[in-house]
Structure 1
Amino acid sequence: MTKIFLGPAGIPLSTRGKGSVEGVKRVKELGLNAMEVEFVQGVKMSVETAKELGEVSRELGVRLSVHAPYYINLCSSEPDKVSASKKRIIDTAERAHAMGADAIAIHVGFYGDLSPKECYQMVKSALLEIRDQMAERGIDSVKLGVETMAKETAFGTLDEVISISKEVSGVIPYIDWAHTFARQGGKIDYGEIIDRLTRELGLNHINSHFESLQMRKGKFVDVHEPISKNSPPFEPLAKALLERDVSITLVCESPRLEEDALIMKQVLESLGYKLG
Structure 2
Amino acid sequence: MARIYLGTAGIPLSSKGKSTADGIRRVRELGLNAMEVEFVRGVKMGLEKAAELKKVAEEENVRLSVHAPYFINLCSEEKDKAEASKNRILETASRAEAMGADAIAIHVAFYKKGDREKCMEIVKSSMGEIIDRAEESNIKTVKFGIETMAKETAIGTIDEVIEISKDVGKRVIPYIDWAHTFARQNANINYGEIIDRLSKELSMSHINSHFEGLAERKGKFVDVHRSIKYNTPPFEPLAKEILKREISITLICESPELENDALIMKKILENDGYRLE
For the superposition of Structure 1 and Structure 2, which TM-score range results when normalised by the shorter chain? over 0.9
Residue equivalent to 1:8? 8
- 1:181-238 CA deviation, whole Å, 9 max, x = no partner? 0000000000000000000000010000000100000000000010001000000000
Counterpart-to-counterpart distance in 2, 1:20 and 1:39: 11
Q: Which residue is equivalent to 2:23?
A: 23
Corresponding residue for residue 104 of structure 1: 104
Amino acid at match of 2:59: E
Deviation string 1:21-74 (CA, Å, 9 cap, x unpaired) is: 000000000000000000000000111110000110011100000000000000
CA distance in 1 between partners of 2:7 and 2:40 (Å): 17
Q: Find the counterpart in structure 1 of residue 162 from structure 2.
A: 162
Contact 1:166 1:201 survives alignment (8 Å): yes
Report the AA paired with residue 100 of structure 1.
G
Structure 1 residue 112, shift from structure 2 partner: 2.3
TM-score (norm 2): 0.99
The SS at the match of 1:71 is: coil
Residue number in structure 1 paired with 2:247: 246
Counterpart CA distance in 2 for 1:266 and 1:5 is 14
User: Contact 2:113–2:153 at 8 Å: present in 1 too?
Assistant: no
> 2:222 is paired with a residue of what secondary structure?
strand
Opposite residue 104 of structure 1, the aligned amino acid is I
Query: What is the identity, as a one-letter code, of the residue corresponding to 1:94?
Result: S
Offset of 1:114 from its aligned partner? 5.3
Name the structure 1 match of 2:138.
138
Q: In the alignment, what sits opposite 1:266?
A: 267
Q: Are 2:66 and 2:103, in contact at CA under 8 Å, matched by a contact in 1?
A: yes
Partner of 2:120: 120
5+ residue gaps, structure 1, are none
Report what 2:203 is aligned to. 202
**Which residue of structure 2 lines up, in the alignment, with residue 228 of structure 1?**
229
Equivalence map 1:171-190=2 (5 Å): 171-190=172-191
The 4+ residue runs of structure 1 with deviation greater than 6 A are none
Question: What's the CA shift for 1:113?
Answer: 5.3
Q: Secondary structure in 2 aligned to 1:14?
A: coil
Q: Take 1:113 and 1:189, find their aligned partners in 2: how far apart are those partners?
A: 27
- Deviation digits for residues 150-183 of structure 1, max 9, x if unmatched? 0001110100000110111210000000000000
- Residue of structure 2 equivalent to 1:215: 216
Code of the residue aligned with 1:234 in structure 2: it is F
**TM-score of the pair, normalised by structure 1:** 0.99
**% same residue:** 66
Deviation string, structure 1 residues 56-104 (Cα, Å, up to 9, x no partner): 0011100000000000000110100000000000000000000000000
Q: How many residues align?
A: 276
Partner of 1:152: 152
Q: Which ranges of structure 2 fall in alignment gaps of 5 or more residues? A: none
Paired with 1:56 and 1:167, the residues of 2 have a C-alpha distance of 36
Q: Which amino acid aligns with 2:259?
A: E
